[in-house]
Every structure is written in C-alpha cells, then in structure tokens.
Structure 1
Amino acid sequence: MNDLGATLRAARVAAGLSLDGMSRLTHFSKSTLGHIETGRRVVQGEHVIAYSRVLGLSIETLCGKPFDPLRMAHEWLVRETPVHEHLRSGRRIGSSLVDTLENRVVELRHLDDLVGGRDLFPVVQREFEEVQMLAKEASFSEVNGRRLLVAVGELAQLAGWVASDAGRYPEAQATYLTGVAAAREADDQVLVGQLFSSLAYQMANVGDPADAVLLAQSAVAGASEAAPAVKTLLRERLAWSYARARDKTSALRTLGLVDEEWERRSRNDDEPEWVYWLNRHEIDVMAGRCLIELGQPSAAKPLLLGAIEAYSPDHVREKALYMTWLAESQANAGELDEARLTLEQARTVSGSVQSSRLELRMRQVERLAN
C-alpha cells in the first residue's frame, strides 16, 4: 500500500497537479490525499478510481496489477455505513456526517463507470434508502438539512440510473421522482432538471418518445440558470428524445445548441460534480447516435470511431455500448460483415459486465446485422 501511495503521488506530480488541485478535482480533502500518498492511510479502490479519472491514466497503469471493481462494490455493501454508525450515537447530525455522505455519493457515482447496473444496484439502493431515512428521522440545522436533501436527490439520480441499467425501469422512474421531490424541497432547480432529464432519457429508450420530449423540454427550461456543461447535458438528452420521436428538424437544431453551449464553458464555471464525465467525445457519441436514428449512418461513423478510440479501457460497459452504435451505423450502411465484426469486438470488450442496457443493445443490433 505504501508503494501504491507513492505511485499515486508520482503520477500526480508528473501531471503537474498540486495536492490542492487534486483535492478540488476529486472531492477528497488535501489531508486525506496527503495521508494516502505517504502511506499513513490505506489506499482504497475509490482513491485509485479518482486518480485514474483526473490524471487520465488507466487503473491498471496506476496499480500495476489487475483491479477488481466488483470486489470493491462487494466490500462497500458489507461494510457498515456512516448512517448506521451515526444513528447509534444520536439523532442530531452535523456537517462532518453530511461531508461524508456527499463524498460517498461521488465515490459511488464513479464506481458506476466500472460496475454494471445489476451488480451495483443493491449497493446504491441501500445507500439511497439509508440517506432517505436519515433525512426523515434525524435532526439538523437548516443548512445541513438542505445539503442532506441535495444528497438524497443526487443519490436518487444515481440509483435511478443504475436501476435503469439493470432493466428495473418502474423502480428507476419511482426513484427519479423521489429525487425530484427532495431536490425541489432543497430549492435546487438544476438538480431537478438533471432528474427529469434522466427520466426522459429512459422514456426515450424504453417508453414513449413523445412523452420523453415533453419531459426533456421541461428539464431544459427549468434549469435555465445552470452552468453551460449542465445545459449541454440536458440539451443532449433533448436531442436524443427528438431523434427517437423522428423529429429530424428539432433534433438537428438541438444538436447545434449542444455545441454552442459546450463552447461557452470556462474554468470559472460552478459546475456540479455529476457532469464530470461529459467531454467532447461523449458529445460526439450522442450526436452519432442521433444521426443513426435520423437515417444518416455514414455521418455518424467518424464521430463514433473517434470517441471509441479515445475511450478509457477501464470503462468497458460504455465502450461496448458505443461499439454497438458503430455496428448499427455499419449495418444501416449495408456493411454487414463489418457490423458483425464490431459486435464481436464489443462482446470481447464488455467481458462479464452485468448491464441489461448493454445486453438489450446487443440483441437489437444483432437482428440488424444478420
């Protein structure tokens, strides 16, 4: 562990990043990171994930050996939670517990990059239910109460997303709406927009695209004061809803607005942590997906190829998902041999990740390619 801490420190220094800078980008305190790097604190999987994301290095590069995210998820599930520990000692909660819960939301969110929904669902669901219980039963100051409600809303978004990936669509919808209630009580309209937008994305995929359009439009309108990165994300999902509803004009116009919003970003923006994953490649993937839905597979292929080549090898579910879209673009362009080869490569990349969303995509594209 001392060696791993030293490796993390060397990687950070090589990237020209200070402990202060790393703290701001990971949501771990400077002192925690210092203890990790000097061996005074045991390095956990969530620490390695955070360094990997910020520094743009694979987990295997940092660890020097295979990393098992499923083991990390299991260890998280069997450990006692901060909520249980707190409720043994009293009902009044302070800022330190809220700090811990906020950090756990971030860590779980990044674990979703590596673990499929069926494996991660019980972990996130337990955390969500316990933080909900705390918000109902504990006593706290007005400031900590609002922060706790925001944590409930953010956990609801993550729990809904994971449930959807696990194919548990009714549970996902109910969870998203529970989060909306908490975010509204906290007066966090941007988080309300994120929750409605996430639900609209599910509806566009497995429900009525027309309803998805209305909900996605509401999310964009309600988050009018959000940072450009957030507006980019919400407009992406609106574009997808339009594409699924076969509204070509609105979809293409919204994709143009996505690019405009992304160009408005600056280093001084106050962005919520939950947009950490959004980048130019992710935007290109969504644009490519929309173009496929709109009958323009040849225009989609270069966007998808560039994003897939740049994608982290640790994020196997997303990489495999994006490869299914590439395979669909190839199949729609009449390149059936290439589509079958891409699908086979996607299966190899995905390994044993437990994602109903990925399995559904595989079946859909297989029918096109055969």
Structure 2
Amino acid sequence: MTEIGPALRAARLAAGLSLQGMAARANYSKPYLGQLETGARVVRMEHITAYESALSMSLSSLYTQLPVAAQHEGELSNELSAFLLPSTPVGGSGAGFTLTELDAAERLARWARGLQWSESTPPRRTVIDWLEANLPRLHQLSPGTERAERILRAGAELADIAATMSWDVEDTESARRFHFGSARLAHTAGDAGLAATALAGLAMQFLDQGRPEDGLEVAQLAQFVARRSATPRLRGTLAHLQATAYGTVGDTTAFERETAYAAECHLEASANPPADTAVDRSLTALNLCFLLGPRRTWPGRGRQSELLGPSYRHLVATRPRLADAGFGMDQTPLPANIIEPAMAVTSTARLHLMLGEPVRAAELAGEALTLAGPRAGGRTVARLRDFQHESLEYAKGSADIRAVRTAIAVLTTAR
C-alpha cells in the first residue's frame, strides 16, 4: 500500500502546521485533508502541489509514488469532452467488411463473452488481436446501413469485453482505452444504450481504483448519453454506480436517493427479463465485475467495506426497507460455472462485514473456507484475502473473526 498519505501528514507536522491550518492554506476542508492523509481518499497530483505551496517545500519524491491513473488525472475531462463530439468517419459505409466478416465478428463476441471470466484460458489476446487488426477499418465506417451498424456494434462489444478482461488482470490503462473505444464505436452506430454500458464499465473501474469522483462523473455522462433510450435495467445500474460513488465519499443523502432510484428501476426491470442483446450481455458482465472483482494475486487492503460501510450502516439504521430492496437489486441468474459456491458465500460474508455484522460474516467466511477446500485458487483466494483485510477492524472484539482470519491466512499464505 502506498505511504503517500502518511508522508503528507509527516511533512505537515514537520512544518508545525495543524490540519485546520493546512485546510486554510490549501483551500481544502479539514475532513478532506484528513482522508487524504489516512489513505481514505486517493492522493492525486494536485493534492501534492497544494501541500508544496502551503508548506513552501518540495515534495517531488512523492510524485513518483502516485498511481498511474492519478498521474494522468487531468486527461479524463478531455476524454469525456471528446466523447461527445460527433464522429468524423473518412471512408464509405461498407469499408470493406463482408457479410462473412460481420458474422464472424458477432460469433467472436458471443464466444468471448462466455469465456471472459475463464481462469485458465481467457480469450483476451484473441479479442485484442481482432481489435488491433480491425479498429482502423471500424473508425472509417459511416453509419446508415444495417451492415455498418452491426459491425460497429460487434466491435463495440468486443472492445467492452477487452476492457473487462484488461481490468480483470489490473491492466487499467488498456481497460480505460478499450472502454472509451467501445463507447465511441457504439456512439457512432447510434446505439446509446451500448455506449452507456461501456461508460458504466469505466465508471466501475474508477470506483474499484478508489476514484469515486471520477466514477461519478463518468456514470453521469453515461446517464446523459442514454437519457432517451435507457431500459429500466440500465437506469438501475447507472443509479447503483452513482450511489456507490456517493457512499464512498460520505454523501449519505445522495447515496440514499440514488439507492432508492436504483431499487425502483430494478423492480421495474424484474417484470421484463433481459433480452439477449449486446447491451444486456454487457450489463450482465458488469454485474459480474461487481461480484467477482479483479483477479488480484497479491495481498492488498480491502477498501470497500471501510469506505462504503458507514453509508450502508446508516441506510440500514434509518431506512431498513430501502436497504432490503437495495441489497436485492438485479436478481439476474449468474452462471454456475463462473460463480463458484465459495465465491458466492464469500461475497455475502463481505456484505455482512459492510453492514457491521461480524458474527454472521465470520460464519459465512468459515462456510466459504469449507467449500473452497485446501486447493482453492484464483479469484476465490483473492476474495478471501479481501475478507481478511476488510475484517481487521473487528479482529480485536470478535474471537470468531480472529479464528477465520487465521484460517484464511493458512490457506492463502502458500498461494
């Protein structure tokens, strides 16, 4: 874990400046700076610059510790603005794509969707090879014919798949590039729903990286893009993303508002089962992203419970019926060959941690360990590690939590 937040605190204290004094000099609120210094917020380039200015000292060594995403923070607004510009294709409506090529691209998208979560043979390289070979041709397409719009949609879905698989292995720069590429292709095809789902995937990626403000900005753009054509399921997904962002930054009022709207949308969507369209396949994949998480292979501190927990606990305490509806959102059946029983139980255990129910969480984590067995691997181990880190706050007060944390450590240490 980066030590950049504590380093900022050390620099402030060395200068003899209180947090309140720093807030006055840096034009940030005292709680905001406290979150930066404790690691509750991601430190970005502008934060280091503000500290340097306020303290009249160089903190240049901290810039090299910034996450890659934070180093390129200023690029996001330009990318979002560019997305809304009209496309300027330079070729004809056919651009050389034959019906045979179109059929092959659509088959590739369906095949890759089914295998994108494979632990052993994910088709990432195959999909990226197709995109690298065909993106120049796709960018030359002018919409207006059925063939052009179909190949653009197929390309958009393949780029969305490539983005998800890149995020899965923590190649965040490629994931971001493919998410934007997918949204642009869908936008060119006139498919606002597919463009919005690609942007929703990018918003989810930012939330996973600890960048809720950026996740919120992208989710709002997705909502704007799909404002006239969004299905209840898509509206619910976008509202859920916004709720997660608001909850992460501690805006409980906005969190509850978006959670209520998301629950309402999902209730409406439950009466209409999802169709087999690129949009629905993308939304199903996005829901899997939330549940599965990326395929992390190193120990890392879980942040979701710590950051979102207070908002969820407040919701349970003040509006329990809404909490029940919110936690039951999107009951789309998930493939049994992707969601192993141990994974599903671990996810439920982590939810109970977030709700402040360590006893029930420990029971479920113990059940997950039994289901996983001694040879567990892949995402199952990664999510158990997440539980181990997220349960730290309860370790002192719960013998059950301590016992299950020890068992997870024994299982995962050799991995």
Q: What is the TM-score with the length of structure 1 in the denominator?
A: 0.59
Contact kept, 8 Å, 1:301 with 1:326, in 2: the verdict is: no
**Is 1:341 the counterpart of 2:366 in the alignment?**
yes
Contact 1:183 1:191 in 2 (8 A): yes
1:96 and 2:100 matched: yes
Contact 1:236 1:258 in 2 (8 A): yes
Match of 1:157 in 2: 160
Work out whether 1:237 is the aligned partner of 2:262. Answer: no
Which of residues 194, 206, 209 in structure 2 aligns to 1:206?
209
* Aligned pair partner of 1:176 in 176, 179, 197: 179
Q: Which amino acid aligns with 1:109?
A: R
Corresponding position of 2:313: 296
- Paired with 2:110 and 2:157, the residues of 1 have a C-alpha distance of 9
**Aligned ranges 1:282-361 → 2 under 5 Å:** 292=309, 294-296=311-313, 312-316=335-339, 320=343, 323-327=346-350, 329-330=352-353, 332-335=356-359, 337-338=362-363, 340-342=365-367, 344-345=369-370, 347-348=372-373, 351-353=376-378, 358=383, 361=386
Per-residue deviation at 1:199? 0.6
| Cα 1:261–1:334 shift into 2, 3 Å | closer
Q: How far apart are 1:121 and its partner, in Å?
A: 3.0
C-alpha deviation, 1:176, in angstroms = 1.0
Deviation at 1:330, TM superposition (A): 4.0
Residue 115 of structure 2 corresponds to residue 111 of structure 1: yes
> What is the identity percentage for the equivalent residue pairs of Structure 1 and Structure 2?
16
What is the TM-score with the length of structure 2 in the denominator?
0.53
Structure 2 residue 261 is matched with structure 1 residue 257 = yes
Q: Would the aligned equivalents of 1:119 and 1:354 in 2 still touch at CA under 8 Å?
A: no
- In structure 2, the residue matched to 1:63 is none
Question: Could you tell me which residue of structure 1 aligns to residue 297 of structure 2?
Answer: none
1:269 shift after superposition: 8.1
Tell me which amino acid in the other structure corresponds to 2:280. Answer: V
Report the more deviating stretch, 204-213 or 347-356. Answer: 347-356
Query: Quick one: structure 1 residues 291 and 320, their matched pair in 2 at CA, closer, same or farther if it must change by over 3 Å?
Result: same
Unaligned 5+ runs, structure 2: 1-94, 292-303, 394-400, 406-415
CA distance in 2, matches of 1:222, 1:349: 47
Q: Tell me whether 1:364 sits opposite 2:389 in the alignment.
A: yes
Return the index of the structure with the highest Cα Rg: 2
RMSD of aligned residue pairs (Cα, Å): 4.4
* 1:116–1:355 contact (8 Å) kept in structure 2: no
Higher helix share: 1
Q: Which has the higher contact order (CA 8 A, sep 6+)?
A: 1
Q: In 2, distance between residues paired with 1:276 and 1:157?
A: 10
SS of residue matched to 1:167:
coil
- For structure 1, list consecutive stretches of 5 or more residues without a partner in the other structure: 1-90
Structure 1 residue 178: Cα displacement: 1.9
Q: Is contact 1:115–1:354 with CA below 8 Å preserved after alignment?
A: no
Residue from 261, 277, 280 that aligns with 1:272: 277
